[in-house]
Chains A and B, each alone.
Chain A
Amino acid sequence: EAEVAQSPRYKITEKSQAVAFWCDPISGHATLYWYRQILGQGPELLVQFQDESVVDDSQLPKDRFSAERLKGVDSTLKIQPAELGDSAMYLCASSWGTSMDTQYFGPGTRLTVL
Chain B
Amino acid sequence: GESVGLHLPTLSVQEGDNSIINCAYSNSASDYFIWYKQESGKGPQFIIDIRSNMDKRQGQRVTVLLNKTVKHLSLQIAATQPGDSAVYFCAEKVSQAGTALIFGKGTTLSVSS
Could you list which residues of chain A lie within 8 angstroms of chain B, going by C-beta atoms?
A: 4, 6, 33, 40-45, 48, 55-56, 91, 93, 98-100, 102-108, 110
Contact = CB atoms under 8 A, between A and B. Distances in A.
A42 B100 contact: no
A55 B32 CA distance: 19
Contacts of A108: 42-43
Contacts of A98: 98
A99 B41 contact: no
B99 to A, nearest CB: 7
Contact of A102 (B43, B46, B95): B46
Nearest to B46: A102
B25 interface: no
Contacts, number: 57
Most B CB atoms within 10 A — which of A4, A42, A106? A42
Contacts of B101: 43, 45, 103
Nearest to A103: B101
B56 interface: no
B89 A42 contact: yes
A91 B103 contact: no
Nearest to B48: A102
A24 to B, nearest CB: 14
Contacts of A43: 44, 89, 101, 103
Nearest to A99: B95
A55 B98 contact: yes
A64 B19 CA distance: 43
B45 A105 contact: yes
Contacts of A106: 43
A99 B32 CA distance: 9
